Amino acid sequence: MVRAAILPAVGAPLEIREIVLPEPGPGRVRVRLAAAGVCHSDLSLTNGTMRVPVPAVLGHEGAGTVVSVGEGVTHVAPGDGVVLNWAPSCGQCHHCGIGEVWLCANALTGVGAVYARDDRGADLHPGLNVAAFAEETVVAANCVLPAPAGIPLAEAALLGCAVLTGYGAVHHSAQVRPGESVAVFGVGGVGLAALQGARIAGAGPLIAVDVSPAKEELARAAGATDFVLASETTAKQIRALTGGHGADVAIECVGRAETIRTAWESTRRGGRATVVGIGGKEQQVSFHALEIFHFARTLTGCVYGNTDPARDLPVLAEHALAGRLDLAGLVTDRIGLEGIPAAFDAMLAGKGGRSLVVF
């Protein structure tokens, strides 16, 4: 038996209990977790903004060591370090066929399966495929990727979501070019990764926007040249910092209607706004037809940074090993399983960067 954080029902508090994992069957891998990041998507699962079958073990950003493998698994072996991939592509659907693996139609089919049982005998589902809020997990073989050599496993966990998403939003979705001005809204784990990604892209100025003044130090350490405290005048302040035009690119990492609207308004005519944050259906954003014509801006969604983890992990590892990408700088709190509810509270309060569960 291993300890895990269980979501018994939507809206219910997490319960730290023991669970029983099966031995990995064909095409399955058992992993002992080194660390798991606490992401806003996990919070969205607890409050029902995103839906998965419950009871479930949440956690989708993690890395660890292979304990055992089932029949047919050849790309990893016991003792190997691995990064968990919560949205594996099937390689067969329409989106995979046209190279949009981040939109794979079958990426989350595993969440409906029973993967373990709790200490009371109840069936458990793997929140977002990988159930990383546990000392160990059993996942499909395509949910593990070899961990990059030379990067501590605890920090490699961040590559599984925050860094892929933030870096990918900049490089793949917004396609930021050297010398472009970038405004990043929301300085959490993904926002910090986006700032680092924009710095790596050679962009500037880099403007960080957040509701908390305490985030300024984190933002500047990630590469921000300017920090704007979110208010009714945010768009005006960003225009003042960009020669009166507005930012070339805005990256929205919050998922709130007013923030999306402000990100749009903060970009120049012909600018680009990329929405990374996940909001609920009640978050309605309005535009009138004349402004769409006049400003000629582009507003786009972004799923998992529009990344292909198998392609992008080696690139991120190269940046990290060369010192261009600071993984440890994204982490503001190292906690145990019992610290996850407090990490959720900190997210809601707009505090900190990434909380990392270290086993």
**Other Cβ atoms within 10 Å of 48 Cβ, number:** 12
Does 136 fall in a domain? yes
Say how far apart CA 38 and CA 344 lie, in whole Å.
8
Does 41 fall in a domain? yes
Does 246 fall in a domain? yes
Does 314 fall in a domain? no
Question: CA geometry: angle at 127 spanning 123 and 130, to 5°?
Answer: 100
Structure tokens at 226: 């300017």
225 shares its domain with 190: yes
pLDDT above 90 for 225: yes
Query: Containing H/E element for 18?
Result: strand 15-20
184 shares its domain with 134: no
Binned at pLDDT 50, 70 and 90, residue 350 comes out as: confident
Does 345 fall in a domain? yes
pTM here?
0.94
Say how far apart CA 184 and CA 175 lie, in whole Å.
14
The length of the chain in residues reads 359
pLDDT for res 178: 98
100 shares its domain with 176: no
The stretch 217-222 carries a mean pLDDT of 96
336 shares its domain with 212: no
Summarised one tens digit per residue, pLDDT across range 28-68 is 999 999 999 999 889 888 888 888 899 999 999 999 999 99
Query: What does pLDDT average to over the chain?
Result: 95
The stretch 310-314 carries a mean pLDDT of 94
| DSSP letter string, 29-86 | EEEEEEEEEE-HHHHHHHTTSS---SSEE---EEEEEEEEE-TT--S--TT-EEEE-S
Summarised one tens digit per residue, pLDDT across range 168-202 is 999 999 999 999 999 999 999 999 999 999 999 99
Strands 123-126 and 331-335: unpaired
Say how far apart CA 258 and CA 108 lie, in whole Å.
29
124 shares its domain with 174: no
pLDDT for res 187: 95
Strands 226-229 and 206-210: parallel
Domain count, the chain: 2
Contact 129, 52 (CB under 8 A): no
- Looking at residue 190, which CATH number applies to its domain? 3.40.50.720
Beta bridge partners of 37: 61, 356
Nearest to 166 by CA among 146, 153, 151, 185: 185
100 shares its domain with 28: yes
Say how far apart CA 128 and CA 53 lie, in whole Å.
10
pLDDT above 90 for 348: no
Say how far apart CA 163 and CA 214 lie, in whole Å.
21
72 shares its domain with 155: yes
Q: CA dist 222 to 64, 170, 259, 320, 354, Å?
A: 26, 14, 21, 13, 13
Contact 61, 86 (CB under 8 A): yes
Does 349 fall in a domain? yes
Binned at pLDDT 50, 70 and 90, residue 295 comes out as: very high
Domain housing 84: 2-160+326-358
- Give every CB contact of residue 303 below 8 A, 6+ residues apart in sequence: 102, 103
CA dihedral 43, 46, 49, 51 (to 10 degrees): 120
105 shares its domain with 176: no
- Give every CB contact of residue 226 below 8 A, 6+ residues apart in sequence: 205, 206, 207, 208, 241
Using a pLDDT cut of 90, give the percent of the chain over it: 92
The stretch 292-298 carries a mean pLDDT of 97
Summarised one tens digit per residue, pLDDT across range 81-136 is 999 999 999 999 999 999 999 999 999 999 999 999 999 999 999 999 999 999 99
Sign of CA dihedral 164, 169, 175, 181: negative
Does 66 fall in a domain? yes
The stretch 339-349 carries a mean pLDDT of 90
- Looking at residue 117, which CATH number applies to its domain? 3.90.180.10
The stretch 242-256 carries a mean pLDDT of 97
176 shares its domain with 92: no
95 shares its domain with 183: no
Does 119 fall in a domain? yes
298 shares its domain with 344: no
pLDDT above 90 for 280: no
Contact 60, 86 (CB under 8 A): yes
Structure tokens at 339: 């610290």
156 shares its domain with 225: no
Contact 41, 278 (CB under 8 A): yes
Three-state DSSP state, 13: coil
Say how far apart CA 162 and CA 158 lie, in whole Å.
6
